[in-house]
């Protein structure tokens, strides 16, 4: 069945991957609602923005009247909510924006979705879902394998793991998850929630670890490693996440939570060394890029290990990641080499000229 899907935060890293997937691989119609903060870049949607099934609305999720207008104008069958402030370091320097967008913004969207849902006819009500996209960081962190004598059976985050967020970012996401759950329990809003591990891939804003390392390496700049670099993250290729999200939005059982992860646990230092090895091969310089690695003071409250048990989504919805870390990281490095215009416009700020664009 052809659906109209409202995607919030569709100009961001994961939202743009979801929209490219929806336009290229399905026949659904997409409304992209995005405020275009520093993290929103319409250039990431250049390949699909002229498609007649795509519309852009420059709107802040905290603006109740504008959200209401978008819902009544486009009459979506599904809402996929990705809009958020997403960078942990920025949340430590200035938590206010994270509370505003991630908590107040999600509350505003939930209230408008509730009012919209209440006036739908029976057929549309049965199909409607509010899909809240979140992170595994809400669970806090897991003990590091170095703390175990036998590291064969290490614990993983499951959908039942209690919340224990460490940073203002993860605390704001945990709050928004709980708001979404309570709107389901109290107001019967049909919701699904997903919690995913670290994503990587094309169109990732250069402040995040993987693009930062690729671009600093190419520019001959230091490759900063927090602490000892032994923090473990579970990496998932962004296009695998986008497929999982659309599957959950369409087929996930109302009221359920699904963890999404790639079974790719890597220490940060290992990720940086892998990128350096790929660059040594693809763009050989006078010495190895690994010589640019520089250790810097650890992030306060830095989580040691994240690792996801994704067996529920695999069993119930038949999702599996297609990309191994080895092939995904190689594709990602190659993408940054081939797409200089995209990241240069981010680095020199000219991508912000797109902010006035309204699509169609």
- Active site positions, annotated: 136-137, 169
Q: Cβ closer to ligand NAD: 205 or 289? A: 205
* Strand blocks (E) in the chain: 4-8, 29-34, 54-58, 78-81, 129-135, 191-196, 198-200, 223-226, 232-237, 257-260, 265-267, 293-296
Query: Among 235, 322, 309, which Cα is nearest to 272's?
Result: 235
Closest CB to ligand NAD among residues 289, 329: 329
Shortest distance, CB of residue 200 to ligand NAD, whole angstroms?
7
- Do residues 75 and 116 make contact, with C-beta atoms less than 8 angstroms apart? no
Backbone CA torsion sign across 202, 205, 206, 210: negative
- Residue 223 pairs with which residues in a beta bridge? 293
Say how far apart CA 303 and CA 92 lie, in whole Å: 13
Q: Are 190 and 128 in contact (CB under 8 A)?
A: yes
Chain centroid to CA 300: 22
CB of 51 to ligand NAD, least distance (A): 19
Nearest distance in Å: CB 202, ligand NAD: 12
Distance of closest approach, residue 84 Cβ to ligand NAD, in angstroms: 3
Least Å distance, CB 346 to ligand NAD, is 11
What is the rounded distance in angstroms from the CA atom of residue 346 to the CA atom of residue 354? 11
* Strand 293-296 to 223-226 pairing: parallel
Q: Which residues contact 235 (CB under 8 A, 6 or more apart)?
A: 197, 198, 199, 200, 262, 264, 266, 271, 325, 328, 329
Residue ranges binding ligand NAD (CB under 6 A): 8-9, 11-15, 34-37, 39-40, 60-62, 82-86, 101, 105, 133-135, 173, 196, 198-199, 205
């Amino acid at each position: 069945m052809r659906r109209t899907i409202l995607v919030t935060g569709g100009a961001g890293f994961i939202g743009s991957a979801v929209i490219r997937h929806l336009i290229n691989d399905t026949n659904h119609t997409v409304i992209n609602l995005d405020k275009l903060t520093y993290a929103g870049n319409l250039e990431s949607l250049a390949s699909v923005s002229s498609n007649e099934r795509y519309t852009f609305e420059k709107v802040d999720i905290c603006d109740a009247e504008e959200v209401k207008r978008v819902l009544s104008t486009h009459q979506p069958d599904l809402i996929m909510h990705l809009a958020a402030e997403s960078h942990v370091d920025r949340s430590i320097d200035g938590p206010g924006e994270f509370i505003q967008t991630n908590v107040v913004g999600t509350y505003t969207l939930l209230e408008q979705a509730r009012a919209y849902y209440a006036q739908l006819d029976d057929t549309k009500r049965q199909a409607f879902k509010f899909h809240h996209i979140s992170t595994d960081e809400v669970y806090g962190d897991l003990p590091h394998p170095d703390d175990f004598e036998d590291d064969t059976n290490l614990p993983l985050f499951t959908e039942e793991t209690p919340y224990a967020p460490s940073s203002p970012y993860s605390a704001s996401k945990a709050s928004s998850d709980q708001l979404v759950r309570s709107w389901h329990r109290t107001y019967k809003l049909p919701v699904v929630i997903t919690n995913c591990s670290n994503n990587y891939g094309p169109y990732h804003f250069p402040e995040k670890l993987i693009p930062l390392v690729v671009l600093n390496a190419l520019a001959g700049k230091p490759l900063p490693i927090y602490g000892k670099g032994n923090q473990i993250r579970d990496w998932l290729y962004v296009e695998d996440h986008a497929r999982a999200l659309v599957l959950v939005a369409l087929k996930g059982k109302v009221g359920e939570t699904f963890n999404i992860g790639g079974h790719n646990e890597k220490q940060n230092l290992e990720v940086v060394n892998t990128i350096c090895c790929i660059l040594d091969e693809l763009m050989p310089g006078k010495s190895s890029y690994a010589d640019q690695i520089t250790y810097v003071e650890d992030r306060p409250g830095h989580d040691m290990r994240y690792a996801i048990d994704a067996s529920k989504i695999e069993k119930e919805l038949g999702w599996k990641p297609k990309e191994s870390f080895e092939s995904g990281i190689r594709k990602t490095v190659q993408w940054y080499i081939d797409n200089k215009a995209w990241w240069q416009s981010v680095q020199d700020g000219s991508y912000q000229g797109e902010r006035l664009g309204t699509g169609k």
